[in-house]
Structure formats: structure tokens, C-alpha cells
């Protein structure tokens, strides 16, 4: 389903703003409008807005509700699009259940019928996670336990839109850039019942480059998309009753045994793991934060990020295309475990988890297929890939995905070399390693000793490039120590600098992603000083010492 856009055939109404909110019981059904609820912003998480501790940490169902009116045109179809609610949800329109959301990071798009003069939209969100959800979670003595290291923010996190469509509308547009030596062809598939489709390609200067009556289009001497030159074209698809404009870029991606090639040149990934996270708004899409993040990425001379550990908002993906930032697009499969030996009882990944996992991979590729910034998909973060059962699962999920996309596939691995049962499966071996922090804490020399050996072993054994997708150290801004000590800015700088020294010696290491761009909220715990502090920027996006080092390092950095 295409993102809602307005033009002469289509209208978009935003329902963002102030809604009503309250925790509800499991059997709650919004038959009538709620009278005893409090005000809440949309999009945003509720957790950092409310002042009551019990509501902030509430585990269960919550109701979000709003009423609205707008002019209805009987000749149009209407749909509702909720960008994301965390996590599962049920959607009621004027008291009738019209659909469900299956995951906290994916859009829900439903037909709206029987519009009244004043309409009531109720969204009942359940923030509880089990091993049949992604990310996985479990319950111990009635309390939610999550293994992943980010706060379980809850709410309507992305835009809520109502949009109109002509009765015979364009459902989808798939743009494939056909890679030949001149990079000059694109093929477009349009999903519509209409005949007579016309295709117009506009360049970045808004000039018409090609007009065509068929979806096989040739662009002479095209400008390629890359971080150095993020050149975007626009394709206008028009039928006798509908029109849609989709941006695209032309770029070629290939992986060899030692390199990641973009437009035939080896690329070195410089950047970060990120989270959608900010003070007060939590995981709510926040345009100010999004733009600040991209400004910081440019300031620090980064060229890439991973959508750790779930798909990000469409706004972020559009900005990545525009700013020229390479994206490793990750599905929300975090901390998967198969083996019973963890005393997790029934809590383990099973067939039901796998069905959901595949569905979420499919939906992510459907959503992000036309973004030139997306150059690789990550199918899991830190699965227990040393477990026997992991291999069969992994093979199945990777095979499934390879039938859906030609882009390279990976997963972020935390199992050590020699223990991981799945390292032959991805196209690029991504590893998350915390030498000097979780492993051999404060021993800087261990980085040269262990990381160098591990990356070399992975490359020579599996004949694939290796990418360090996480490394770093928790750092409280303003804490200084000479010589360096844990939590000081000097300590973070030393870990990052020494890791970079090691990576520079390894030609088959194709990237470094520091964990993390900015500090972020986690559950409370003894190892977390008000959240995860591995950011090289603070949660309010100001630099620590390490940020200045990376800015100097990555300026004109040319490994290959």
C-alpha cells in the first residue's frame, strides 16, 4: 500500500494532536465514548508524559480515542492509516472493530466505511510481549521481563491519517533499477486495475527526463545515487482517474568476499546504531529530532546507520534518501532464543514466532523497496546463534527473504567465532562486540588481541566481508578522569579510538558502527545510569568528547 499523499485525486487528513487516553482491562470494548480519560499527545509514547508511576510502567491494554469530522465525498474511498502503535492493537471505528495491528513498528492501513458526520476512532493497544511477538518478551511471576535493551515505550508512535482515493486507484508502484553497465534502465510495476498508465520521470531540477507509455523506461546518462551525491528522481504514474509521485534513486549494490560495492566502488560504512528515542516524546515520530539526527550524522561525517532494532518511520527513511545516508534496515527480531536451557520454560521461539518474523520481513520489504538508501536488510539482532536450533531457523528465514529481494542480507551477531552456527548464512558478517566494556572490562589491549583475530577468522573461514555493527562504552557526559576510568568521556574515547586503530589494519572489515548515536532510555537497572549512555551525543543531542574524535577521523576517511 502506497504512503498517503495528496494531489488532485487524493486528499489526506491528519488526526495527529491531542487524544484521550486511559489504561483499560483485558476485556474492554469501546462501546461508548470514554468519559474518564486523560489528555495525551499523538504521535508520542505516554510513558514520559504521565506523572503517575503506575501508569508510566503500566503493563496491559490502554485506550487511545479521538473524535473527528471532515467533508465526505461519496465518489471516493476512504482509508485509515496508523503509522505504528506499540505493540499490538485493536482498532474500533464508531464502536465497531475494523482491524488489528500485529506489531509495534509497522503501518496499519484499513478501509473506512460508513463515515458519520462525527466519527469516533478508538485504538486499544497492548504493550505486553511474549515469545510469539517481535521483539520477544516473557512473563515471570506476572511481571513483564524484556531482554532487549530499550525501554518498552507504548503509544501511538507515528502519524494517524485518513485519506481518500478514487474508486479505481493505484495500489502500489515497484521501481526496479535494472543494473547494466550504463545503469540506464528502470522497470516499473504498477498495481492497479486501470488501463492507460503513463509514466513520467522528473530529475532533481524538476525537468522531464522521460515520458513513457510503458513501465520499461530508459534514462540516458543517469545521475547515480550515493552518499556523496544523493541524486533523486521522481516517477509520476498517472491513469485516467489517479496519480501518484514516487521518488527513487539509481544505484547498484554488490557484495564480494572482502568488499561492499556501491556503484562498483568499495564503500566503508561509518556511522551508528540508532533508536527512535527522545525526551518526553519517547518513540513518537518527532520531526525536530529526526532532522537534528541527520544534521548530526552529516556534522560527524557519518555515511550510514542501522535501524536497530526495528523499522523506523517512513519520514526517517525519506530523509535518509535525501541526506545520502546508507541504511541497514532491521526487522524487530531482537534477542531470539531457541534452547530450553535458559529456564525460560515455554518461552522460546517457535513456529508461530517464525510465521510472524517472515510476515514482518515481507512487510518491511514491501514498505521500503523504493528507497535507494536501503542497501542491506538485517533479519535479526543478537539471536542466540550458538544454539543448534538457530541454524535451521536462520536458513529458512534467509531463504525466504532471498526470494523477496536482491539486496544483501545480514544479521547482527553476538556469538563468538567458532561458536556461531549461522555465520555462513548472511552475505555480510555483522558482529556486535564490546571488548574493553562487557568483555575484559577496562583492558584496552584486549581489543587488538581479540577483535583483530575474530574479524580475521570470520573473514578467512567464511570468505565474506565483516562489519563491526556495535562497539562502545557507557559514558556520563561531563565525567572526566585522567587516567581514564569507567563512565568517563576519556574512557569512551579510548575504547573507540583503539577499536578504530584495529579496524584500520583489516581490509576485509567494511564498516564501523559505534553504539550509539545518542544516549537512550532503557528499563531501570544497576548497569544503566538513567538509560544506556553509550551515545557519542547526549539524549538531548549534544556532543561528548568521542564525537569530536569521530568527526575528525571520518572527514575525508578513505580506507579503500
Catalytic positions, written as ranges:
382, 470
- Is the CB of 148 or the CB of 541 nearer to ligand GCB? 148
Burial class (CB in 10 A: 0-12, 13-18, 19+), 404: middle
Go through 30-65 and write b for each residue having 16 or more CB atoms within 10 A of its CB, e for each that does not. Answer: beeeeeebeebbbbbbbbbbbeeeebeebbebbbbb
> Cβ 162 to ligand GCB, closest distance in Å?
35
For the four alpha carbons of 49, 52, 56 and 62, in that order, the dihedral sign comes to: negative
Gap between the Cα atoms of 177 and 216, Å rounded: 10
> Cβ 520 to ligand GCB, closest distance in Å?
8
> Cβ 115 to ligand GCB, closest distance in Å?
43
Gap between the Cα atoms of 209 and 234, Å rounded: 10
> Cβ 308 to ligand GCB, closest distance in Å?
6
> Cβ 534 to ligand GCB, closest distance in Å?
5
- Is the CB of 173 or the CB of 414 nearer to ligand GCB? 414
> Cβ 24 to ligand GCB, closest distance in Å?
31
For the four alpha carbons of 179, 182, 186 and 187, in that order, the dihedral sign comes to: negative
Cell of 359: 510476515
Asked if residue 497 lies in contact with residue 540, where contact means CB atoms within 8 angstroms, the answer is no
Phi and psi for 233 in degrees, rounded to 5?
-100, 165
- Is the CB of 115 or the CB of 146 nearer to ligand GCB? 146
HEC profile of 68-107: ECCCCCCCEEEEEEECCEECEEEEEECCEEEEEECCCCCC
- Is the CB of 226 or the CB of 381 nearer to ligand GCB? 381
Contacts with ligand GCB by CB under 6 A lie at: 149, 309, 381-382, 414, 432, 470, 515, 532, 534
Rg (CA), the chain: 24
Alpha carbon separation from 415 to 339, 383, 384, 418, 484 (Å, rounded): 15, 8, 7, 8, 29
Q: Which residues contact 16 (CB under 8 A, 6 or more apart)?
A: 42, 43, 159, 160
Cell of 529: 545510569
The residue number with the shortest CB distance to ligand GCB is: 149
- Is the CB of 149 or the CB of 238 nearer to ligand GCB? 149
- Is the CB of 284 or the CB of 332 nearer to ligand GCB? 332
Phi and psi for 288 in degrees, rounded to 5?
-65, -45
> Cβ 532 to ligand GCB, closest distance in Å?
5
- Crossing angle, helix 314-323 and helix 287-299, to 10 degrees? 30
- Is the CB of 467 or the CB of 515 nearer to ligand GCB? 515
Amino acid at each position: 500500500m502506497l504512503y498517503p499523499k495528496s494531489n488532485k485525486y487524493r486528499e489526506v487528513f491528519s488526526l495527529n494532536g491531542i487524544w484521550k487516553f486511559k489504561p483499560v482491562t483485558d476485556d474492554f470494548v469501546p462501546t461508548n465514548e470514554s468519559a474518564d480519560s486523560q489528555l495525551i499527545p499523538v504521535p508520542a509514547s505516554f510513558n514520559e508524559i504521565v506523572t503517575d508511576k503506575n501508569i508510566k510502567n503500566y503493563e496491559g491494554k490502554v485506550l487511545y480515542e479521538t473524535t473527528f469530522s471532515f467533508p465526505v465525498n461519496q465518489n471516493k474511498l476512504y482509508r485509515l492509516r496508523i503509522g505504528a502503535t506499540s505493540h499490538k492493537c485493536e482498532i474500533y471505528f464508531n464502536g465497531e472493530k475494523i482491524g488489528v495491528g500485529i506489531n509495534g513498528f509497522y503501518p496499519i492501513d484499513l478501509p473506512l466505511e460508513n463515515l458519520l458526520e462525527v466519527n469516533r476512532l478508538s485504538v486499544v493497544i497492548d504493550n505486553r510481549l511474549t515469545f510469539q511477538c517481535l521483539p520477544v518478551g516473557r512473563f515471570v511471576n506476572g511481571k513483564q521481563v524484556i531482554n532487549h535493551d530499550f525501554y518498552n515505550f507504548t503509544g501511538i508512535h507515528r502519524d494517524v491519517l485518513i485519506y481518500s482515493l478514487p474508486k479505481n486507484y493505484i495500489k502500489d508502484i515497484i521501481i526496479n533499477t535494472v543494473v547494466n553497465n550504463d545503469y540506464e534502465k528502470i522497470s516499473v510495476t504498477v498495481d492497479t486495475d486501470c488501463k492507460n498508465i503513463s509514466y513520467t520521470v522528473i530529475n532533481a531540477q524538476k525537468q522531464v527526463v522521460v515520458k513513457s507509455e510503458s513501465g520499461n523506461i530508459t534514462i540516458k546518462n543517469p545521475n547515480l545515487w550515493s552518499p556523496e551525491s544523493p541524486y533523486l528522481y521522481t516517477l509520476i504514474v498517472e491513469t485516467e482517474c489517479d496519480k501518484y509521485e514516487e521518488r527513487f534513486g539509481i544505484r547498484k549494490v554488490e557484495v564480494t568476499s572482502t568488499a561492499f560495492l556501491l556503484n562498483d566502488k568499495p564503500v566503508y560504512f561509518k556511522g551508528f546504531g540508532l533508536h527512535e528515542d527522545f525526551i518526553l516524546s519517547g518513540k513518537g515520530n518527532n520531526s525536530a529530532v529526526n532532522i537534528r539526527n541527520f544534521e548530526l550524522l552529516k556534522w560527524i561525517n557519518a555515511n550510514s546507520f542501522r535501524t536497530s532494532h526495528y523499522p523506523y518511520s517512513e519520514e526517517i527513511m525519506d530523509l535518509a534518501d535525501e541526506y545520502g545516508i546508507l541504511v541497514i534496515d532491521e526487522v524487530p527480531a531482537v534477542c531470539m532464543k531457541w534452547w530450553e536451557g535458559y529456564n525460560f520454560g515455554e518461552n522460546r521461539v517457535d513456529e508461530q514466532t517464525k510465521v510472524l518474523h517472515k510476515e514482518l520481513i515481507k512487510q518491511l520489504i514491501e514498505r521500503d523497496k523504493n528507497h535507494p538508501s536501503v542497501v542491506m536488510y538485517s533479519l535479526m539482532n543478537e539471536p542466540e546463534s550458538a544454539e543448534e536450533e538457530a541454524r535451521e531457523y536462520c536458513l529458512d528465514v534467509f531463504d525466504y527473504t532471498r526470494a523477496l529481494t536482491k539486496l544483501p542480507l545480514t544479521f547482527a551477531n553476538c556469538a563468538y567465532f567458532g561458536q556461531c552456527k549461522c555465520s555462513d548464512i548472511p552475505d555480510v558478517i555483522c558482529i556486535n562486540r564490546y571488548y574493553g566494556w562487557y568483555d575484559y572490562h577496562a583492558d584496552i589491549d584486549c581489543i587488538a588481541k581479540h577483535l583483530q583475530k575474530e574479524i580475521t577468522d570470520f573473514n578467512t573461514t567464511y570468505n565474506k566481508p565483516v562489519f563491526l555493527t556495535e562497539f562502545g562504552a557507557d559514558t556520563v557526559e561531563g565525567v572526566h578522569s585522567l587516567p581514564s576510568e569507567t563512565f568517563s568521556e576519556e574512557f569512551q574515547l579510548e575504547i573507540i579510538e583503539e577499536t578504530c586503530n584495529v579496524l584500520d589494519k583489516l581490509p576485509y572489515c567494511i564498516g564501523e558502527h559505534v553504539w550509539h548515536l545518542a544516549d537512550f532510555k532503557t528499563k531501570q537497572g544497576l548497569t544503566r545510569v538513567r538509560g544506556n549512555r553509550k551515545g557519542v551525543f547526549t539524549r538531548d543531542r549534544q556532543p561528548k568528547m568521542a564525537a569530536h574524535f569521530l568527526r575528525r577521523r571520518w572527514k575525508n576517511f578513505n580506507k579503500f
